Structure 1
Amino acid sequence: MKQNKKDYLKIILWMVLGGLGGAIGMIGMLYIKESTVGYTLFSDFANFFIENIFYVQLGLAILTYGMVSYWLKKAKRLKEEARIETDEEQDLFDEKLDKLLNSSLLVNSVHLILSFMLFGIAFDDRNPLFWPSLIIFLLVSFVESAVEVHIVRSIQEHDPMKKGDPTSTKFHSVWLDSCDEAERTYIYKVGYHAFITMQNVLMWIFVATLFIKFIFHTGNLTILIVGGIWLTNQLAYFYYAAKENRDMTSVER
């Protein structure tokens, strides 16, 4: 009974702290809205950003491709110049190669997401270079998909045990099946931490969209979209948890 009271008090405490944080955030948003200087600066920056978003897309693409190309060339040179004679040298080689390929994959994936975001912003009447923005978005989508396939092929070339066609819809399940037990455990742990992080992030984004609706009268669409993503994330976790539990039960029988 005492433990239950402590749990209830902790829940109330977190709710109070959340309410205080929300109140501070709402006051800040109201200040920006009511402040002529703050609102003008925000509007001017938004207009300037949208009017020049093509150059942002172009600059980010050049920066990304420069970094990824450098790492991939370095990985290729590392494989060509490798002279491995001991297990220790093999482990060091694997570590260096994995770092280069994973860094390339990370930057490539992040840029692809940013490209979608920038194109969404570029789809605006204030953008005088909409068609160039569309063209660079399509080019980025194609090139980065090709780069991702190339990176996966490079990983498979280094480790033939890794299976799966990166252009297939079944790639992730085939890749997971080809991993050993330690690699699967690593993937499961990373996936769980990613799920928990997304739960917390989506909750705060939902709260932010709620405040924005009240202050800027943006309507209910953003609430439905963020809430739908939050709900999907939660249901997907429990769906795959139940599926995994059924598979384990059937194997035991």
Structure 2
Amino acid sequence: MSNNRVEEIKKEDKKAFKSFAIMMVISAIVGAIIGSGSIYLQEHMGNNLSDFLLNALMMITPYASLVLSILVIVVSVVIYSNSRKKLKLWNQSDEQEEIIDNIEEKLSYVLLFASVNLIIGFFFFGAGMGLFSEDSYGKVILFFFGFIVCVVSTVLIQNKVVNLEKEINPFLNGSVYDFKFSQKWLDSCDEAIKLNVYKSSFKAHKSVTNTCLILWIVCVLGYSFFDFGIMPLVMVTIIWLVQTVSYCIESIKCSKNKIN
């Protein structure tokens, strides 16, 4: 490596370090404010805040999955129906290529809504375990019915969207009901779609890393001031480790394949 290149690297580090140092100072100040605020909340609200949040959660849990699922189903049906109508009118001319782009964008939002609803459904399923200690069998039945609707509707919506995508792009393969769907779908994608997947995956990796850092701070403060216990911190650390290690290992494998 030439001396000029070494100097360029040092200058780049020196320039970036100023912003880094300022950010560290700001983070320390914000951390001190959050820590002080947590102590204040713990002293003045303490268990009252936890009880209030828990009671509020127990009130909405029996109905949340069902209500959200019905809302997602209605929105998905409307978007899917409009997309299929537009597809029938598409004559595959270059002038109307934006019609397909618009259809695919809306279908992506449908998949987003369905996926978010499924994750929230699993959250409320876990939160609803406390309902079994109650005598209200009606709430328990409604709770289970809502979760079933959430899971089934998500799978059916994803299947409809994927099949419509395969009609638009005949080279795509894979069935939602296949346990190896993700790999088969990715293998059938062209280079443009794969590039989009890779960019999205890297963005997701960065987002999860930042989220884990924020959750780590929350868990540390909760452990110290609100008796969260050690388990939330352990779970966040496991997620952080899994996504970091898997990303690095996959990167190493790709580098080896490139060399070979």
Residue 193 of structure 2 is matched in structure 1 by 183
1:20 Cα offset (Å)? 1.8
Once residues 85 and 117 of structure 1 are traced to their aligned partners in structure 2, the CA distance between those partners, rounded to angstroms, is 43
Question: Could you state the TM-score of these two structures normalised by the residue count of structure 1?
Answer: 0.87
**Of 143-152 and 228-237, the range deviating more from structure 2:** 143-152
**Comparing 146-155 and 220-229, the one that deviates more:** 146-155
Contact 2:65-2:150 at 8 Å conserved across structures: no
Q: Secondary structure at the match of 1:149?
A: helix
Q: Which moved more, 1:117-126 or 1:217-226?
A: 117-126
Deviation string, structure 1 residues 130-162 (Cα, Å, up to 9, x no partner): 342123212311221122122111111221111
TM-score by length of 2: 0.85
Correspondence for 2:4: none
After superposition, the Cα gap between the structure-2 partners of 1:41 and 1:201, relative to the gap in structure 1 and judged at 3 Å, is closer
In structure 2, the residue matched to 1:220 is: 230
Q: CA–CA distance in 1 between the matches of 2:192 and 2:61?
A: 44
Q: Distance in 1 between matches of 2:250 and 2:53?
A: 44
Q: Which residue of 2 aligns with 1:60?
A: 68
Question: What does the per-residue CA deviation read over 1:104-133, in whole Å, with 9 as the maximum and x for residues that have no partner?
Answer: 111111111111112222221476423421
Matching residue within 79, 94, 102 for 1:96: 102
1:21 aligns with 2:30: yes
* Cα 1:84–1:24 shift into 2, 3 Å: same
- C-alpha contact (below 8 Å) 1:32/1:39 kept by paired residues: no
Q: Which amino acid aligns with 1:174?
A: K
Confirm whether residue 249 of structure 1 aligns to residue 259 of structure 2: yes
Indicate conservation of the 8 Å contact 1:212/1:218, yes or no.
yes
Runs of 4+ in 1 over 6 A off after TM superposition: none
Structure 2 unaligned spans of 5+? 1-6
Q: Is the 8 A contact 2:223 2:230 kept in 1?
A: yes
Maintained 8 Å contact 2:66/2:149: no
Contact 2:215–2:236 (8 Å) recurs in 1: yes
226-235 or 116-125: bigger deviation: 116-125
Could you tell me whether the CA contact under 8 Å between 1:164 and 1:175 is conserved in 2?
Answer: yes
Correspondence for 2:148: 138
Q: Which residue of 2 aligns with 1:110?
A: 116
- 1:42-100 Cα distance to aligned partner (Å, 9 max, x none): 633531331232122222122111111111111122223x05263111x1221221122
> What do you get for the CA RMSD once the two structures are aligned?
2.3
1:168 maps to which of 178, 183, 208: 178
Q: Percent identity?
A: 23
For structure 1, list consecutive stretches of 5 or more residues without a partner in the other structure.
Answer: none
In 2, the alpha carbon distance for the partners of 1:60 and 1:29 equals 32
Counterpart of 1:47 in structure 2 is: 55
More moved, 167-176 vs 108-117:
167-176
Q: Distance in 1 between matches of 2:92 and 2:104?
A: 19
The 8 Å contact of residues 79 and 110 in structure 2, kept in 1 or not, is answered as: yes
Contact 1:156/1:163 (8 A) holds in 2 = yes
Distance 1:185 1:83 in 2: 26
State the AA in 2 paired with 1:208: V
What is the DSSP-based 3-state SS (H/G/I as helix, E as strand, rest coil) of the residue aligned with 2:130? coil
